[in-house]
Amino acid sequence: EAQVTQNPRYLITVTGKKLTVTCSQNMNHEYMSWYRQDPGLGLRQIYYSMNVEVTDKGDVPEGYKVSRKEKRNFPLILESPSPNQTSLYFCASSSHASTYTDTQYFGPGTRLTVL
Amino acid sequence: DQQVKQNSPSLSVQEGRISILNCDYTNSMFDYFLWYKKYPAEGPTFLISISSIKDKNEDGRFTVFLNKSAKHLSLHIVPSQPGDSAVYFCAASAGDMRFGAGTRLTVKP
């Protein structure tokens, strides 16, 4: 089954404790992206990757890091989480290097709470 | 600076009636528009899209209309069904993608 998986689905942590949210897709997609969803703001892009070893900042990259060492995986790293990073996070992938005209497949989401 | 706006946070319609979800955008460089649907505890899923060279695209019960001069698009669902109850996100692309804040649609039996 074609899918995007994220782990963990739920996470409660404390300020400053490093964490990683994993994302994996089994569709051999080149493009992967991370979004956060906040009430009244919709989905905002954090980082994206057009291919292996290629990553770029999205709209709200501050406080986040990513890596793309393999095509299928795109982990999101919070080196020192803060309460304003409490949000619902989605990983997404699409088959081409650009999201232009290409629909994205989303993971189920990771709800993160930073105390 | 929200370039894509969905000004109605919620919409309630009766089963069988038409649902109309609206979306406005400010960036005239956007040339591809999409609608995603999101159920609770799931990621958004693609619903329908339209290129800026068209003004209408239809897929079953779902039709998207684009008015470029007004920088406005809408999603029509006819007839609405209870299973359509979800949050709908409008998205616009000009190389990268911008999303609206979403509209929660409730279809009452």
Task: Read off the pLDDT of residues B71-106 as tens digits, 9 standing for 90 and up.
Answer: 999 999 999 999 999 999 999 988 678 899 999 999
Residue A108 has pLDDT above 80, yes or no: yes
pLDDT for A101? 56
B108: distance to nearest CA of chain A, Å? 24
Q: What is the pLDDT of residues A82-106, one digit of tens each?
A: 999 999 999 999 886 554 556 789 9
Q: How many CB atoms lie within 10 A of CB B8?
A: 15
A42 at the B interface (CB within 8 A)? yes
The DSSP line for B29-84 is: T--EEEEEEE-TTS--EEEEEEETT-SEEEETTEEEEEETTTTEEEEEESS--GGG
Q: What is the pLDDT of residues A37-87, one digit of tens each?
A: 998 888 999 999 988 999 999 889 999 999 999 999 999 999 999 999 999
Average pLDDT over residues B14-42: 94
Write out chain B residues lying below 8 Å of A104, CB-based: 46, 97
A58 at the B interface (CB within 8 A)? yes
pLDDT for B77? 98
pLDDT for A11? 97
For B89, name the nearest residue in chain A, comparing CA atoms only: A42
For B4, name the nearest residue in chain A, comparing CA atoms only: A42
pLDDT for A66? 98
Q: Are residues A58 and B42, on separate chains, in Cβ contact within 8 Å?
A: no
A71 at the B interface (CB within 8 A)? no
Q: In angstroms, rounded to a whole number, what is the distance separating the alpha carbons of residues A69 and B11?
A: 43
pLDDT band at A29 (very low <50, low <70, confident <90, very high): very high
Residue B38 has pLDDT above 60, yes or no: yes
pLDDT band at B1 (very low <50, low <70, confident <90, very high): low
For the CA atoms of B88, B39, A107, B51, what is the dihedral angle to 10 degrees? -20
